[in-house]
Structure 1
Amino acid sequence: MFKFLLVVQAIVALLLVTAILMQRSEGGGLGVGGSSSGFMTARGAADFLTRATAILGAAFITLSILLAAIAGVTRESTSVDTSLVKDQPVQTAPATPAAPTGNETAPAVPLAQ
């Protein structure tokens, strides 16, 4: 279910980007000329793209919230792939004690007021 919704969200995101990029910055939408009546005139295209952008934006937000809810509820155990780990033990450097510096505590400095 999660993977299916993730693919649907990716498709909605691509459609949303396409709808946004097809609009003119002045709000004319596609800049298509033609007759003053009909569906795909400049005004009709702008209205269609505006509605499509609003619907796709709402669908994207809804899918995002739904996917977050599903991911929060799903408690699948995570496993680490150990197929690439060699059978040899890990070599670590021997621990050496730090040399004393003679000034173990810093002098107290009053704060300026």
Structure 2
Amino acid sequence: MENVVLSIHLILALLLIGVVLLQRSEGGGLGMGSSSASSGVGGLMTGRQAANALTRVTWILAAGFFVTSVTLTVLAAQKARTESVVDSATTEQSAPADTAPANDAPATPPSLDVVMPPAPSGSAATTGGTSGESTTDAPSGPVTPPASN
């Protein structure tokens, strides 16, 4: 339904643009600069009649554009009322882990292993102390905590 209304809306927009561009800025319409006195009695439409016809067509297309705009807004509001982002997020989190997802994606995201770059030599990270301490007296083996009393 929404796609049909959207298609009609786009067609009306293009027709409205075309009709507006056909009109003359002075209100002459399709008169093409000819006055009503020079067009004669045998002409199909005078300049004034063409302007009136284009004005009516413009108003009809504008009214249709307005109606389709309101219709699309109402349809989007109804769709938003039934589909909440917060509700969909909570239902995805509370879903049991043993159910397989609809697509072929894994049930849980893959864990990311953090790889740290090696520390520069002589820094506190490689010597086991802070950068302000002297590291010449540091033991070469693992440090054991003192015995508790």
TM-score class, shorter: 0.5 to 0.7
Is 2:64 the partner of 1:59?
yes
Match of 2:73 among 60, 65, 68: 68
TM-score by structure 1 length? Answer: 0.64
Is 2:16 the partner of 1:19?
no
Deviation of 1:89 after TM superposition, in Å, equals 3.9
Aligned twin of 1:5: 5
Aligned twin of 1:41: 46
* Structure of higher RCO (CA pairs closer than 8 Å, 6+ residues apart): 1
Q: Which one has the largest radius of gyration? A: 2
Output the aligned Cα RMSD.
3.1
Aligned twin of 1:28: 28
Deviation of 1:93 after TM superposition, in Å, equals 8.4
AA partner of residue 24 (structure 1): R
Deviation of 1:6 after TM superposition, in Å, equals 0.1
The alignment covers a number of residue pairs equal to 91
CA distance in 1: counterparts of 2:31 and 2:105, whole angstroms: 57
Give CA deviations for 1:53-80 in whole Å, capped at 9, x if unaligned.
111111101110111001100235779x
Deviation of 1:40 after TM superposition, in Å, equals 2.9
Gaps of 5+ in 1: 95-113
Counterparts in 2 of 1:41 and 1:3: CA distance versus 1, 3 Å: same
Counterparts in 2 of 1:58 and 1:91: CA distance versus 1, 3 Å: farther
Identity between Structure 1 and Structure 2 (%): 41
Gaps of 5+ in 2: 89-102, 117-149
Higher helix share: 2
CA distance in 1: counterparts of 2:73 and 2:44, whole angstroms: 38
